[in-house]
Structure 1
Amino acid sequence: MSRRQRQALDALLRSVPRSETPLTPAEQRTSFAAAMTRPAPESVTVRRTVLGGRPALELEPAGAADRGRLLYLHGGGYVIGSPDTHTGLAGELAARAGLRTTSVDYRLAPEHPFPAAVDDGLAAYRDLLTAGVDPREIVVAGDSAGGGLSIATLLAAREAGLPQPAAAVVFSPWVDLTLSGASMRTKEAADPIFTQADVRAYADLYVGAGDRSHPLASPVFADLSGLPPLLVQVGANEVLLDDAVRLAARAGAADVETTLEIGPGLPHVYQTHHGRLDEADTALDRAAHFLTAHLNAPLEADLNPAPPHPAAI
């Protein structure tokens, strides 16, 4: 781990100017796209496609395995972001796992409030099954709101009587729209990106006057039994830390095979800083191994143990 890299990243994130007046969702989307969009690795071919009735990007690494499909759900507070803004992150995970990946452009709030995103996530997953993909050959991943949406999609699939995929990975998942986690307050000074007010503003746009504790809006309050093996990665310096910790604890208590990794001194979805932050690259390597090990279980998991992580639980 590089303390100098972490400190430089923290300073960079804190240097981003904040608007004195609230931006409209359209303005936020434009600003986010300009700041966050990174290309996929050169080894990954990107194509536009449709999945579950929604536009999507297909990312295919060179020499991708014949078996295995990754469904990726991007972050952005359910208000901003798209497969294009997350091409770099999804492409890196696809390349490291060697998996053909589909990143879905689910509908965003406030134009399409809860549960539109969940409906789109479920439709995408159902479409893969309808196309004949074996659920044991599917893995799911997402970051931030997309991490929460990944869990909500699995819950919706369970309630619809659909089989679960082989595994899921979530980066800094937002799974509590009631903002009841203690880290919303205790980590606010340490978080270089978000304040509690920032997170509440996204919840207001997504759920409005609806029930913010609904299990498909806030999966931390859901019955998580029956979900596939789960890897949760989160930074210690983020207001969503307790979302990840409580999600992992509740999943483990529900007999879900669960691994929680807390990156010391790291911000929200630090994996987006791959190529310039050592911890981001090693985290993506572990996430890729986790997904492929469960696709190929038990043989590969036995022969190729995952790289150790000092904060893994």
Structure 2
Amino acid sequence: MASIRSQLLAKVLRMTIKRKFTASRNLVQERDNMDKLAVMSVKPERGRVTTLGGVPGEWHEAQLGSKETTILYLHGGGYVVGSPTSHRGLAAMLANLAQARVFVLDYRLAPEAPFPAALDDAVSAYKALLDDGKDPKKIVIAGDSAGGGLTISLMLALKEQSIPLPATGICLSPWVDLSFSGDSMQTNAKADAILCKESLTWLADQYLGDVAADDRRVSPLFAELNGLPPLLIQVGSDEVLLDDAVRLNKFAKKAGVDTTLEVWHGQVHVWQLMSRLIPEAHQAIHSIGTFIKTHIDD
């Protein structure tokens, strides 16, 4: 059962963020609002700002010293909002718990830069890690929401180009079906405290451009998933994206991928970002850290 804090948080989010985002179409305001939500995470120091493969981003190091593990983190925000600022707290916690260096990629956003801009930026950043001499067996690709979908799309693009894949992939509340074919889009419409089909449709419209919503490059749920590295998938039971996560796990297993699915009862979309408010965020990030350390070669 979700903690009392989680239950109260869901009620507050349902009355505030969900209602406002559904009604708003102001890009400047929504991007600012997303960055302000960083107050719900632990407050770390700003990371080292630099570029990776020509794409800007922010490095975070483990406080007690990072090992050889590198996490390429792809933030969520529907391909339209989100930044290293909004995900700074989560990145810092991941660095500490996985004893890793984390690079939060500031990939280009839609509608100014629709598909394939985000995917191209992610590929460029990953290639730069390899060019810098990073062992792919010590690289993790991780992301939440749209970034969780981009995590799968990136690995599929790497596979297609015969580029060595990372050790593992982490998908938090992944958005892997922009055609909205999952049943939970309706069955969890009221329960979800943050997202709804209306807001997601608007986000998808900004990103897709001329690409079909079920194109495997933007909806990797429909791609051939064989050959991917081990995956950890976390999702809240009340999310409209629940079936995205469940089906990703099912289809990946069917394709022979070693996948681990964690469905967290009563949790909101990407609750891992809310570590200052709810204990389940800490617990989930601890689970991610353990998973990463288990799947990285010593």
The answer, yes or no, to whether TM exceeds 0.5 is yes
1:53 and 2:70 matched:
no
Question: What pairs up with 1:150-229 in 2 under 5 angstroms?
Answer: 150-229=151-230
Find the counterpart in structure 2 of residue 270 from structure 1: 271
Question: What pairs up with 1:21-170 in 2 under 5 angstroms?
Answer: 21-36=23-38, 42=44, 46-170=47-171
Closer, same or farther in 2 for the Cα pair 1:41/1:10, shift >3 Å? closer
Q: How many residues align?
A: 296
Per-residue CA deviation, residues 219-245 of structure 1 (Å, 9 max, x unaligned), is 100101111100000001110000000
Q: Is the CA contact 2:145–2:175 (under 8 Å) kept in the aligned structure 1?
A: yes
Per-residue CA deviation, residues 271-293 of structure 1 (Å, 9 max, x unaligned), is 11114312211111011111111
Find the counterpart in structure 1 of residue 286 from structure 2: 285
Find the counterpart in structure 1 of residue 13 from structure 2: 13
- Give the residue type in structure 2 aligned to 1:227: L
Q: Is the CA contact 1:45–1:62 (under 8 Å) kept in the aligned structure 2?
A: no
Q: What is the distance in 1 between the residues matched to 2:217 and 2:31?
A: 24
Q: What is the distance in 2 between the residues matched to 1:40 and 1:247?
A: 30
How far has the Cα of 1:90 moved from its partner? 1.4
Per-residue CA deviation, residues 155-214 of structure 1 (Å, 9 max, x unaligned), is 111111101111111100000000111111110010011111111111111003421111
How far has the Cα of 1:38 moved from its partner? 5.8
Identity %: 44
Q: What is the distance in 2 between the residues matched to 1:286 and 1:212?
A: 32
SS in 2 for 1:55: strand
Q: What is the distance in 1 between the residues matched to 2:64 and 2:52?
A: 23
The alignment yields a C-alpha RMSD, in angstroms, of 1.7
Q: Is the CA contact 1:45–1:61 (under 8 Å) kept in the aligned structure 2?
A: no
TM-score (norm 1): 0.90
- Give the residue type in structure 2 aligned to 1:91: A
Q: Is the CA contact 2:122–2:154 (under 8 Å) kept in the aligned structure 1?
A: yes
Q: Is the CA contact 2:143–2:170 (under 8 Å) kept in the aligned structure 1?
A: yes
TM-score (norm 2): 0.95
Unaligned runs of 5+ in 1: 298-313
Per mean C-alpha deviation after superposition, the further-off stretch among 19-28 and 280-289 is 19-28
How far has the Cα of 1:66 moved from its partner? 3.1
SS in 2 for 1:110: coil
How far has the Cα of 1:33 moved from its partner? 1.6
Find the counterpart in structure 1 of residue 235 from structure 2: 234
Per-residue CA deviation, residues 243-289 of structure 1 (Å, 9 max, x unaligned), is 00011111111111000000111110011111431221111101111
How far has the Cα of 1:69 moved from its partner? 0.7
Q: What is the distance in 2 between the residues matched to 1:268 and 1:126?
A: 30
How far has the Cα of 1:23 moved from its partner? 2.2
How far has the Cα of 1:41 moved from its partner? 5.5
- Give the residue type in structure 1 aligned to 2:14: R
SS in 2 for 1:9: helix
SS in 2 for 1:76: coil
Closer, same or farther in 2 for the Cα pair 1:75/1:204, shift >3 Å? same
Q: Is the CA contact 2:41–2:274 (under 8 Å) kept in the aligned structure 1?
A: no
Q: What is the distance in 2 between the residues matched to 1:151 and 1:267?
A: 22
Closer, same or farther in 2 for the Cα pair 1:40/1:296, shift >3 Å? farther
Relative contact order higher in (CA < 8 Å, ≥ 6 apart): 2
Q: Is the CA contact 2:74–2:143 (under 8 Å) kept in the aligned structure 1?
A: yes
Q: What is the distance in 2 between the residues matched to 1:198 and 1:184?
A: 12
Per mean C-alpha deviation after superposition, the further-off stretch among 89-98 and 239-248 is 89-98
Q: Is the CA contact 1:64–1:100 (under 8 Å) kept in the aligned structure 2?
A: no
